[in-house]
Amino acid sequence: MSGSVERVIFLPGIIMPCALRYAALLRELDGEVDALTKDLEVYAGSTTPPPGFSIDTEVEGIGRAADAAGFERFHLYGHSGGGAATLAYVAAHPDRVLSLAVDEPASAFVDNEASREYWPQIDRARALPEAERMREFLRLQLAPGVAPPPPPDGPPPLWMATRPAGVAAYAAALQEHRVDESRYREFSPPVYFSHGSLSHPVWAAMRVTLAGLFPCYTAELYSGLHHLRTSHQAEPARVAAALRRHWAWAAEQERALGQTLGAVRSS
């Protein structure tokens, strides 16, 4: 990188708060990013999801947070539910996004065989009693035969009490939202997709689907990792290096575009 400080909005998944989710990665990027860690709108200001919650609620929340931070244009990084929100934001407001990086987004909002098989399993988990619901939801993030990690020692943090309702509301909103594939095809900045080898196969399928839609796209597999032990937590130095390359590619594209526009204006 050229030494510039990158403006980046980070969004977490549906379980862990953003500051905890990205603590290790942000230590690796210390001094290199003007980071805005933004929690999901589904948990904003209440113990229950806001009335009428939808993915558009998350898209609008990203815009408000960017405006409040003075970010006219910025990079986006999102994991799981936050990754889905960033995809929806790129489709709605592509001109504000310098680059997109997603780690196992909860949905790509386009139809494919893998998602048609996966979402009925999520729906069955949503119908279970609350105590069983979260265990089954976590299991469905992993490849068959991979055991979820044990829960941490001690009492659960206070924020965990909001998670069952948040997971249910978010899952319903993800299935209701759709993106016209042409919106992805028209997004020219770089897109980076990461996933773990032990995650549910839906993300390997999503990697292929998005490769056929975004013009500037790279993907990276993290062996031995999964949705509940993510790349940015387990290998933050490697992810930081990948993001530096990704942002440098975006800067090169911006320079090339500027030179092209300058040549057109002077002709």
Amino acid at residue number 10: F
Q: Which two tokens stand for residue 200?
A: 């549910």
| Residue 151 within a domain | yes
1 in a structural domain: no
DSSP 8-class letter at 159:
G
Whether the predicted pLDDT of 152 surpasses 80 = yes
Q: Phi/psi of residue 193, each to 5°?
A: -125, 130
How do residues 172-186 score in pLDDT, each as one tens digit? Answer: 999 999 999 999 999
Q: Which residues form the domain of 220? A: 6-266
The answer to whether 57 touches 45, Cβ cutoff 8 Å, is no
Is residue 160 a part of any domain in this protein? yes
Looking at residue 234, the DSSP 8-state letter turns out to be H
> What average pLDDT does this structure show over 122-137?
87
Domain count, the chain: 1
Residue 191 counted as domain residue = yes
Return the residue matching tokens 């990084």.
77
121 within some domain: yes
For the question of whether the overall pTM of this predicted structure is more than 0.75, the answer is: yes
161: CATH: 3.40.50.1820
Q: Note the pLDDT tens digit of each residue in 191-246.
A: 999 999 999 999 999 999 999 999 999 999 999 999 999 999 999 999 999 999 99
In a domain, 101, yes or no: yes
pLDDT in the model for residue 45:
77
pLDDT of residue 170: 96
Residue 110 lies in a domain: yes
Predicted local distance difference test score (pLDDT) of residue 1: 42
Amino acid of residue 198: L
CA dihedral 8, 173, 222, 147 (to 10 degrees): 140
98 in a domain, yes or no? yes
